Amino acid sequence: MLTRRQTLTALIAAPAVLTLARPAFAGQAHFYMEGGVAIDGTDPTSYFTAGAPVAGDDAYSLKWQGAIWRFASAEAQDMFEMNPDRFAPQYGGYCAWAVAEGYTAPTVPEAWRIEDGRLYLNFSRRIQRRWERDIPGNIARGDANWPRVLSS
């Protein structure tokens, strides 16, 4: 059990320690993932090629930017490998609405939209509809908040 003094010292020191630790993460991409797998194992190219989310297959996977990405076929994997920035979701696959609001939240494969050639995912279809009410404004706020929201 900590004394009041130890607790107070820890609370005062924590922000300084976190500030010093932040530069170690500078420049690293951060993606929404569970168990190391990005975007729930959904093939990110499928949104562009099939116009719908398609589950990736363990047989077609690769590691990129610290996450495992799964694909529905060898062709999809090759497309991603040739130009991952084209297919990877914006804001690391975190909810576009949440990032626009200044925080992160997980996403579901069914709540998505391609806008200006970029993939945006959202927490739910309900949140997706809310995000779509002001796409340009939400993208501008999301771009301004990203990746700062990762350290919030």
Q: What are phi and psi of 66, to 5 degrees?
A: 80, 5
What is the model's pTM?
A: 0.80
Give residue limits of the domains in the chain: 30-84, 89-152
Q: pLDDT for 136-150, tens place per residue?
A: 999 999 999 999 999
Q: How would residue 1 be classed by pLDDT, with cut points 50, 70 and 90?
A: low
Average pLDDT in the 102-127 region?
97
State the pLDDT at residue 22: 35
CB atoms within 10 A of CB 96: 33
Q: pLDDT for 71-80, tens place per residue?
A: 999 999 999 9
Residue 96 has pLDDT above 90, yes or no: yes
Average pLDDT in the 88-111 region?
97
Q: Which of 103, 71, 73 is nearest to 87 (CA)?
A: 71
Residue 25 has pLDDT above 90, yes or no: no
In a 13 Å sphere around the CA of 139, the CA atoms on its Cβ side amount to 15
Alpha helices in the chain (DSSP H): 4-21, 46-49, 74-82, 84-87, 96-101, 125-132, 135-145
State the pLDDT at residue 30: 86
Rounded to whole angstroms, the Cα distance separating 24 from 46 reads: 33
Rounded to whole angstroms, the Cα distance separating 43 from 107 reads: 14
